Amino acid sequence: MPASRPLLLIALAAAPLAHAQEIAPRPASPQACTSITSNAARLACYDRALGYTPEDTRAADLAAEEARLSQKQAQEAARTTPAPGDTRVIGQVGDFFKTENPEAALANAGRGSLLDSRWELAKDSKLGTFQLRGYKPVYLLPAFWTTDKNELPSSPNPNNTVTTPQQLDSGELKFQLSFKTKVAEDLFGDNGDIWVGYTQSSRWQAYNSAASRPFRETNYEPEAMLVFRSNYGIAGWRGRLTGIGLNHTSNGRSDPLSRSWNRVILNFGLDRENWALMLRPWFRIKEEARDDNNPDIEDYMGRGDATLVWNKDGHELSLMARHSLRGGDRSHGALQLDWGFPINNLLRGHVQVFDGYGESMIDYNHKATYIGVGVSLLEWF
């Protein structure tokens, strides 16, 4: 296959994402949005043109807190039979916390926050179902280099242990595509949305002409998630999102290179100003021993991860950490640092550094350091 053809396929696959509202650059003015025919996309364009500010989020949070206090005051007043002289005082307290529409204020808590911008958590942020949305970062890293090639992938299952070394280069090309769409919203009153997502990441030995430039590893990750808006405070952070999902990840290969697992993943999202934190503990769905390609994967790929993101002035830094949550010989983990920065209105630079176990499924129990440099169309936020 000519070297240019896979690059063309990558570009074609990424093209639909370029039309999602998160990928497009900020319009020069709101008038630039008038030609967009899709109502949801046009609204998103106006949001980008006008921008959300921290003051918007704080105002929504304040209104939600006042609505919560108003409801609490009303409940207390209903349980108490006041003396005639106390009626006026209680009325004054209720008026102080009164909002025009307490239910709407509570439903719009966190509007304009980082997590709201990606998950449409607030009532007025929802853009409907079956609209293409960004999910995880979308990038192309033409330079992706490792300190330790895994030429003999292994597993405790003898059917998944390679005995003949693969001919690999230390340098390759990596790219990732990721998107999601909402298939149902407001399942529980004005809360509870179902999203389905898909992420694909590939490592291509594009410079390995001696081995006919093979794709060394591609990971496929479809998932479905039930996501709820939440609104609680902890140490200056606001808990915005609570979710649960089913996740399948595999490399789609035959033995001995096949790797896969299925998980139930919990998701807790918090943010504050320009920061977001996502905590994801997970539970593996066990398989029959004879069919398990990687029976010890939890001790390497971990039992949960945490991703901390900082986003400001077009720059975004994210740090992912995961660990097996076990000690001794079962203690393994990984760190990944990503930095996205502006190049022009269409492209962003992207630098990625990974150290630890499980950079990909085939390398789940292989430790190495990887460094990648390239461009991105979409970051976390």
Tell me the catalytic residues.
248, 250
Query: What are the tokens at 284?
Result: 């593996």
CB 203 within 8 A of CB 218: yes
Spatial separation of the C-alpha atoms in residues 90 and 82, rounded to whole Å: 8
Distance CA 212, CA 143 (A): 18
- Which residues 6+ apart lie within 8 Å of 333 measured at CB? 302, 321, 322, 323, 324, 356, 357
Contact 117, 176 (CB under 8 A): no
CA distance between the termini of the chain: 36
- Identify the CA nearest to 352 among candidates 58, 143, 108, 59: 143
Tokens of 55: 């003051």
288/185 Cα distance (integer angstroms): 36
Q: How far apart are CA 279 and CA 239, in angstroms?
A: 11
Output the CA torsion sign for 59, 61, 67, 69: negative
